[in-house]
Amino acid sequence: MNFAVPKQEIKSNIREALRRCGYFGITNRFTNKVGYVRRLSQSQHYPRFHLYINQETDTTYQFSLHLDQKEQSYQGSRAHSADYDEDTVKNESARILPILKN
């Protein structure tokens, strides 16, 4: 799921705002791209929400959000089971938007 937030509506730096939403930064070991995750369990890595800042302009952050259901299936594979536009992902974006803006 993709969504955008105007920079002027985010009252702190983006990393701090994402931490308030429960997300912490990780680096993808295959692409070296920084993303942010929020685990749904204290004891397991999956499932987890995964958020990327796809694009940053002078006025807007463009985000991409999905729910990783599990880790890659086999060695060398980058593919994983993920939900992109399901209600769970839509509800998560609706949860984080007001937090980002405060």
Number of domains in the chain: 1
The DSSP code sequence of 48-92 is EEEEEEEEE-SSEEEEEEEEE-S--SSTT-----EESSSHHHHHH
In the three-class reduction of DSSP (H, G, I as helix; E, B as strand; rest coil), residue 96 is classed as helix
The predicted pLDDT at position 28 comes to 83
Q: Tens of pLDDT along 50-97?
A: 999 999 999 999 999 999 988 765 555 555 578 888 999 999 999 999
The predicted pLDDT at position 80 comes to 58
Structure pTM? 0.85
The predicted pLDDT at position 78 comes to 55
The predicted pLDDT at position 76 comes to 56
Q: Tens of pLDDT along 14-53?
A: 999 999 999 999 998 888 889 999 999 888 889 999 999 9
Pick left, alpha or beta for residue 22 (phi over 0 → left; psi -120 to 50 → alpha; otherwise beta). Answer: left
The DSSP code sequence of 14-58 is HHHHHHHTT-EEEE-TTT--EEEEEES-SS-S-SEEEEEEEEE-S
Range of the domain at 71: 2-100
